[in-house]
Amino acid sequence: MSDPREIALVVNDVRHARVVESRVNLADFLRHELGLFGTHVGCEHGVCGACTVLVDGASVRSCLMLAVQAGGKNVETIEGVAAADGASHPVQAALAKHHGLQCGYCTPGVVMTLIELGRENIGKPLGEAEIRHALSGNLCRCTGYQGIVDAGLDVFGAPADKGSET
Amino acid sequence: MAGGTAGTLIGARTPRVEDARLLRGGGRFLDDIVVPGALEAVFFRSPVAHGLIRKIDVAAARALPDVRAVLTYDDLRPLLTSDRISLALPAAGIRFNVDPFVLARKEVCYAGEPIALIVATSRRVAEDAAGLIEIDIEPLPAVGDPVAGLDPGSPKARLDCPDNFVAKTGVDYGDIDHAFAAAAHVLRERFRLGKGGGFSIEPRGVVARYDPLEDRLTVWDSTQMPHRARAVLATCLGLSEQQTRVVAPDVGGGFGPKAVFHPEELAIPAAAMLLKQPVKWVEDRFESFTATVAERDQDWDMEAAFDAEGRLLGIRGRLCYDHGASTPYGIALPFNASTNMIGPYILPAFRVSIELCLTNKTPAAPTRGAGRPQGAYVMERLLDAMARKLGVPRDEIRRRNLIPADRMPYPIPVKQRDGSLMTYDSGDYPECQRRALAAAGWRDFPARQAAALREGRHIGLGLCNYVEGTGRGPFESASVRVNPSGQIVVTTGATAQGQGVHTMLAQIVGGELGVAPETILVQSGDTQTSPLGLGAFASRQAVTAGNAAKAAAVLVARKAKAAAAHLLEASPDDLELVDGAVRVRGVPGHRKTLTEIARSLAGAAGFSLPGGMAPGLAAASDFLTAGLTYTNGTHLAEVEVDHETGAVKILRYVVVHDCGTMINPMMVEGQIAGGVVHGIGMTLFEWMRYDEMAQPLTATFVDYLLPTSDVAPRIEIHHMESPTPLNPLGVKGAAESGVIGAPATIVSAIEDALAPFNVVIRDLPLTPAKLRALVRAGTKR
Ligand code: FES
Ligand code: FES
């Protein structure tokens, strides 16, 4: 059951080599092995999206991926999102501006989902429906999604939509 | 944000002081707490809804390497002062208190009830060990339905109770018999209303550390009510309050269930004391479905009597509530539901008998709204039925019954928990409805509806008016201290689960002291920093903690001026507090900062304090409530219904809302939007299902659906502000209001959309399958 394996991976531009039990999932590995507690666990069955991280640029539910599967890969988590000089990422700034978080438990997953959405649509303004669709795998019990969607529109929407009530 | 002249921050959309940390992964939630040497725990739970434990064999589990202990009731009982966890909240009408056991003793009364506790070096090992426990349970008949459970012939949900009829209460005022005798019309309706769990995205969790050197227990607990948890722990473990510290760290949403003390919150500290090592337990999502309290079905059988014009004369009936397997949080919920049913309407006579039934389900306790959404739903359904019967438009039937603004304050002959009469303090309910109808385009809607119908689309518009009693007492605490370093610290017995409590308090205190809110440190949720407190429930903290913090800040400002008068040799009347400094009016350079004043009030050995004042620039205050203050609102929803698939799409959602003076409108809107979407879930998606053996059938987010961003509509929010006379800030609560109006509004809209099919909706939730069945049962006109 323990079956330990050696893995090496890059997390937020830092290389880590560790020995892990093969059954440990990536979320637990990030949190309890690397101390990156920003990735949250809300269901452990792939629905809530709180554990969303980017692996080689693609969003992944880290509760559904084993740590060993992330071996050799490049992982991005909420802790690596702000700029090196400490400046917030535009998505982070917009979530604060539009009250897109309350308890903050779903927030790291929301940020990672929105960052992926932005990278996939560089130069292409997004509408409210597209943003709502992209976020539909991130459960939030606090906000009713309104502030999150408004933050997404502010960063990725057409100029007319930015910060407005469509 | 800059500071400014004292008192100017009420009503500002101040950015939240919580956000910077949370946005960078810097929150410290329960599972982020690392206590060196901590063991990890897993509970072994009852697989059946009702049965007697014949035999439990934990030998194989104990023998697994890295397992430190497998504990059952008999192992923990020696540490406890009583057999059961004494939780009873005082309640008239309760026939017997059913306090839970820390672990099941012999009888198991719901699937998910904790039976054994496995403690190991890691959770993975503890889970392996749980799989090795062998148990033999003699099955007993289970009670799954609260109405059937009250039949004399019903099996018993618990063998330790005389029957299932755990409590009887009710509301009774006015001459109900006369109302029905004199009525031009009477109608009767029956409703079966489900409401699910809180389902905060962060599950529950507990970390406990017992320090033998100091003989002290520290418990980190994802609770809304750390002071209550401390009281229960101290009582059950035979400790003093001073030995017992409960800390609620960042809590990832509460919504009610985290206000309830659950058996795990005692089992984990007891295990830490027994094993002399810290122990951590974090709930998984399966447990949050089976072991965390939730709301359960309400069965309403109601009759309305009204005159020829549609004015209500009286309402009577019976409300039966499924209370699950024990009474961990009193019986207030159905009482709330029935008193909230009255809503913003004139109801001359009211009699409802409330019967609570024990069943073999996870114990019931309030979730966001706490019965009020169901009460509002029943009243609004009755009004829609009356409108149909009389051929009066739905807005008009309400207008005829709404309490006019000139009758405020409006007393209702219902006694509250604190013995006072239920009294609406302020508000203009007819105007609220008028604005909502105008905002949603009520008048033009029939034309739009007819046009849509010509295209084969069924659209409908629905509405609901409601009130919410907020700011439940008896008190909340706050203190404000300016440290000699200049740091301003606010402590409070209020607790934070995402509402923005820290921002709210920092905004109030910052306003009074003329400093920027983000420079103020707010400490909440810790019984060590605030010895007295109640915490988060009943939309109360802006009212109670907000006014306590204001009073404390006013005292600090006054003391700062008095001290500065000595230091500046000026008259206190000539001084003003601006930008964190006291200065002489008209001579801005002649000033003392709060830091300088705090330093001189900190004292120095042998020197006297300015003006012989008491030391320290600090004050504490407890705000005592003078009764509930009533928030109100009107919701309108426009929906499109596919009568073939039963799919409902919410096209538009309008809220006109009045919670008195708003401290931070941005946060009020966040509460409303979150509440509305919770109410949408309750109406259309969230359905906790059980089989006839009371076995839960929905225990994942795949089976039990929370509303997602693609089904949630945009919520358009308009404010009215009728300040309450009941507190100095004029504020009312806003945290549950959104959920109250949503079910009635959406169902009224769906009925309107499906009027061609004569669809009448009674039960909740309304899934597509149920809606299709109603369409089939209706007849196309
Ligand atoms: S914890 Fe991974 S999706 Fe919920
Ligand atoms: S902010 Fe609390 S779950 Fe999203």
Tell me, using a 6 A CB cutoff, whether residue A44 lines ligand 1.
Answer: yes
pLDDT attached to residue A165: 43
Indicate the number of domains in chain B: 2
- How far apart are the CA of A143 and the nearest CA of chain B, in angstroms? 4
Q: Identical fold at A4-80 and A90-156?
A: no
Q: Which of B607, B555, B496, B518 has the alpha carbon at shortest distance from B247?
A: B496
> What's the one-letter identity of residue B63?
A
**Is B577 among the domain residues?**
yes
Which candidate, A110, A137, A109, A134, places its Cα nearest to that of A121? Answer: A134
Is residue B411 classed exposed, middle or buried when 0-12, 13-18 and 19+ CB atoms within 10 A define those classes?
exposed
Q: Check whether residue B526 and residue B666 sit in a common domain.
A: no
B746 and B769 in a single domain? The answer is yes
Tell me the β-bridge partners of B591: B583
Centre of ligand 2 from the C-alpha of residue B349, in Å: 42
Domain edge (last residue) among B585, B603, B624? B624
- Average pLDDT (B117-141) is 97
Measured CA to CA, the distance from residue B634 to residue B437 in angstroms comes to 9
Which residue out of A25, A48, A77, A106 has the highest number of ligand 1 atoms within 8 Å of its CB and is therefore the one to mutate? A48
Report the topology of domain A90-156.
DNA polymerase; domain 1 (1.10.150)
The pLDDT value given to residue B172: 96
Q: The domain containing residue B723 runs over which residues?
A: 421-470+629-781
Residues 6+ positions from B727 with CB-CB distance below 8 Å: B471, B543, B547, B623, B625, B626, B629
Average pLDDT, chain B: 94
Query: Is the Cβ of A41 closer than 8 Å to some Cβ of chain B?
Result: yes
Ranges of beta strands (E only) in B268-392 are 279-282, 298-306, 312-322, 328-331, 350-357
For residue B755, being part of any structural domain is answered with yes
Q: How confident is residue B511, by pLDDT bands cut at 50, 70 and 90?
A: very high
Does the residue B406 lie in any domain?
Answer: no
Q: Cβ(B492)–Cβ(B545) under 8 Å? A: yes
CA–centroid distance, B33 to ligand 1, in Å, is 19
- How far apart (Å, rounded) are the C-alpha atoms in residues B234 and B241? 6
Asked whether residue B710 falls in the same domain as residue B606, the answer is: no
d(C-alpha B376, C-alpha B674), whole Å? 18
The C-alpha atoms of residue B43 and residue B568 are separated, in whole angstroms, by: 64
Domain identity same for B740 and B779: yes
Give the CATH class of A4-80.
alpha beta
Q: Do B503 and B599 sit in the same domain of this protein?
A: yes
All residues of chain B having their beta carbon less than 8 Å from the beta carbon of residue A133 are: 709-710
User: Do B756 and B781 meet the contact criterion of CB atoms below 8 Å apart?
Assistant: yes
Using CA atoms, how far apart are residues B496 and B501, in angstroms rounded to an integer?
6
Q: Are residues B660 and B723 in the same domain?
A: yes
Q: Are residues B493 and B462 in the same domain?
A: no
Q: Which residues contact B704 (CB under 8 A, 6 or more apart)?
A: B196, B199, B289, B686, B687, B688, B698
Three-state SS for B62-108 is HHCCCEEEEECHHHHHHHCCCCECCCCCCCCCECCCCCCECCCCCEE
List, for residues B53-110, the tens digit of each pLDDT value.
Answer: 999 999 999 999 999 999 999 999 999 999 999 887 767 788 888 999 999 999 999 9
Residue that the structure tokens 């109808």 belong to: B437
Q: How many CB atoms lie within 10 A of CB A61?
A: 22
Q: What is the pLDDT of residues B441-494, one digit of tens each?
A: 999 999 999 999 999 999 999 999 999 988 888 888 899 999 999 999 999 988
Question: Rounded CA gap, A54 and A47, in Å?
Answer: 16
Ligand 2: which of B16, B22, B29, B201 to mutate, most ligand atoms within 8 Å of CB? Answer: B201
Q: Are B575 and B672 in a shared domain?
A: no
Residue B295 forms part of a structural domain: no
Which segments of chain A have a pLDDT < 70?
A: 1-2, 161-166
DSSP A25: B
B-chain residues near A24 (CB < 8 A): 124
Based on the fold, state whether residues B518 and B565 are members of the same structural domain: yes
Q: Which pLDDT score, from 0 to 100, does residue B607 have?
A: 78
If asked whether residues B633 and B778 sit together in one domain, one would say yes
Q: The whole model's pTM is what?
A: 0.96
Q: Please check the confidence at residue B317 and state whether its pLDDT lies above 50.
A: yes
Residue of A41, A53, A135 to mutate, ligand 1, most atoms within 8 A of C-beta: A41
Domain ranges of chain A: 4-80, 90-156
User: Do the domain assignments include residue B376?
Assistant: no
**What confidence score (pLDDT) does residue A164 get?**
46
The answer as to whether B290 is a domain residue is no
* Residue B6 pLDDT: 47
In a domain? residue B228: no
Residue B5's pLDDT is 46
Q: Is A112 in the pocket of ligand 1 (CB under 6 A)?
A: no
A95 and B202 in contact by Cβ < 8 A?
Answer: no
Q: What pLDDT, on the 0 to 100 scale, is given for residue A162?
A: 64
State how far the Cα of A93 lies from the Cα of A151, in Å rounded to an integer.
Answer: 8
User: Which of B576, B601, B624 is where one domain is finished?
Assistant: B624
Please report the ipTM that was assigned to this predicted complex: 0.96
Which CATH number goes with the domain that contains B747?
3.30.365.10
B778 and B685 inside one domain: yes
Contacts of B512 (CB under 8 A, 6+ apart): B6, B7, B550, B553, B554, B556, B557
- For residues B481 and B566, state if they share a domain: yes
Q: Could you say which of B576, B596, B624 is where a domain stops?
A: B624
Question: Measured between CB atoms, which of A81, A131, A139 is closest to B708?
Answer: A139
Decide the pairing of beta strands B328-331 and B134-139.
unpaired
Residue B674 and residue A47: Cβ atoms within 8 Å?
A: no
DSSP, collapsed to helix, strand or coil, labels residue B761 as coil
Q: What are phi and psi of B210, to 5 degrees?
A: -105, 125
Is B229 a domain residue? no
Q: Does residue B19 line the site of ligand 2, with CB under 6 A?
A: no
Angstrom distance (rounded) from CA A116 to CA B147: 51
- Cβ of residue B253 lying under 6 Å from some atom of ligand 2: yes
